Amino acid sequence: MPQPPRNVRFAVLPRESDAAPATEFARTMVPHPLVYQELPYEPEYTLYNRRLTAMSMTNMSRDAAYWRLRRQVILRHTGELPIEVRGPDAVRLLNRVFTRDVAKTKVGRCSYQIACFPDGGMLMDGVLVRLSDDRFWYGQADGDLTHWLKAHAEGMDVAVLDPDVWISQVQGPDALRVLADAVDGPVPEPFGYFDAAWVRIAGQDVLITRTGFTNELGFEFYLDPKIDAQAVGERILAAGKPYGLTPVAIGGARRIEGGLLNAGSDFDETVTPFAAGLGAMVRLDKDAFVGQAALASCDQRRRTWGLRTSGGVARIGRTLSRDGAPVGRVCSTAWSPFQQCGVAIVRLDDPALEPGTELAVTCYDGASHRGEVCALPMYDPHGEIPRGKKVDIPEIPAGAATS
């Protein structure tokens, strides 16, 4: 049988313009409008929502990027895909699809929302921003929620569309200082955790939110196609220069430590929110939503936890055992420069295996190491760091890699 090629090259096609006419593939692998800020660092990209997002860059190692995030500030251009839902029945449609009451999300606020299949399996998660009474942006994880929303919008006075908006995030202890130096006027007050506000940056109207995918202090900014994205990006980079701000391809260690689940790896359509440890994000007493009946009658015990592994990084897959028998799956994995051990998000077969359980873990060095199931988040259990209630700038352990 012929062998598959070891290396496959992809072409990134520009958007349609006078210099780059449209082709039948022009919407594939679309780069972020600020991608030029990453290109000097030889980025390697992956596909996320048919968009490109950087997985590695040469300007710093994963450990160095981790410490820059924990101790200073980082800039990351994401592949998240905002979907716009607007119209008189916007709340009705979103409540039909999401597991929490959308009506409780006030204008100028965000909420974490999950969509499920009829059998209770998770379809999607993301952050919903309420822009007005009848207009929302939902920054979805990797996948396709647009067609799901349209399918459930039959008979409703509502529009579901792609606003061609891109999201970038500034995260770390100095993030709000960067914001204060970047905006044309004062920072909105209040601007609390999961708040959303419009500000002027480089003369452009920009939506910012107190959100992010790191569990650190930070904000995200949304680039609308009507604004000068380059002007905004350059202003933010300049404001962050005194704090060491630079684009990075941040690794997974901090979000694993923070218990932030990644769609497609930490959960999929076979996993309910309860099994994923997200039962608090399900309100069974709200108006009818897709999957409600199944979730009301399913096993509501948690199966998703953290894992610390001494001396090794757990191999993804069914690499967990106890007394010689397999007991679960490693979903996401990384080395923690702060904890100086392997960290992972795992899904266990038996819900009785809770934090404190010791397991044998097959690691990437080919050996079996001792692992211990732990709670998520692994520290800062009440989320005081991203809320700005706790300033936690950790010391770098002696001997830890920083470059």
**Per-residue model confidence as pLDDT tens digits over 333-379:** 999 999 999 999 999 999 999 999 999 999 999 999 999 999 999 99
Report how far residue 211's alpha carbon sits from residue 197's, in angstroms, rounded to the nearest whole number.
Answer: 12
What is the structure's pLDDT at 21? 58
CATH 2.40.30.110 segments of the chain: 301-380
What is the structure's pLDDT at 133? 98
Report how far residue 171's alpha carbon sits from residue 181's, in angstroms, rounded to the nearest whole number.
Answer: 15
Q: Which amino acid is at 64?
A: A
CA-nearest of 90, 333, 63, 388 to 212 is 388
Find all residues with CB under 8 Å of 184, minimum gap 6, and list them.
199, 200, 201, 202, 203
What is the structure's pLDDT at 250? 75
Q: Which CATH architecture has domain 301-380?
A: Beta Barrel (2.40)
- Confidence bin at 390 (pLDDT 50/70/90): very high
The chain-wide mean pLDDT, for the chain, equals 93
Among the CATH numbers 3.30.1360.120, 3.40.1390.10, 1.10.150.120, 3.10.450.40, which is that of 29-300?
A: 3.30.1360.120
Question: Is residue 191's pLDDT more than 70?
Answer: yes
CA-nearest of 215, 207, 104, 119 to 163 is 207
- Confidence bin at 403 (pLDDT 50/70/90): low
What is the structure's pLDDT at 224? 96
Mean pLDDT of 237-242: 98
**Other beta carbons within 10 Å of 364:** 14
**Other beta carbons within 10 Å of 77:** 26
What's the pLDDT tens digit per position in 138-187? 999 999 999 999 999 999 999 999 999 999 999 999 999 999 999 999 99
Residue 288's Cβ-side half-sphere holds a number of Cα atoms within 13 Å equal to 3
What is the structure's pLDDT at 9? 57
- Which H/E stretch holds residue 177? helix 175-182
CATH 3.30.1360.120 segments of the chain: 29-300
Q: Which of 105-119, 263-277, 385-399 has the lowest mean pLDDT?
A: 385-399
Report how far residue 111's alpha carbon sits from residue 13's, in angstroms, rounded to the nearest whole number.
Answer: 34
**Other beta carbons within 10 Å of 1:** 3
24: helix, strand or coil: coil
Question: Is residue 26's pLDDT more than 60?
Answer: no
CA-nearest of 247, 212, 206 to 31 is 247
Report how far residue 80's alpha carbon sits from residue 199's, in angstroms, rounded to the nearest whole number.
Answer: 21
CA-nearest of 65, 125, 116, 148 to 264 is 125
Q: Which amino acid is at 223?
A: L
Find all residues with CB under 8 Å of 347, minimum gap 6, and list them.
266, 271, 275, 276, 303, 304, 328, 329, 331
What is the structure's pLDDT at 20? 57
Own/partner pairs, 199-204, CB within 8 angstroms, 24+ separation: 201/231, 201/232, 201/235, 201/236, 202/228, 202/231, 202/232, 202/234, 202/235, 203/228, 203/231, 204/228, 204/231, 204/232
What is the structure's pLDDT at 398? 84
Question: Is residue 134's pLDDT more than 90?
Answer: yes
Mean pLDDT of 300-327: 97
Which tokens hold the place of 263? 């769609």
Mean pLDDT of 35-62: 93
Say what percent of the chain tops pLDDT 70.
92
What's the pLDDT tens digit per position in 103-118? 999 999 999 999 999 9
Question: Is residue 400's pLDDT more than 80?
Answer: no
Report how far residue 229's alpha carbon sits from residue 234's, in angstroms, rounded to the nearest whole number.
Answer: 9
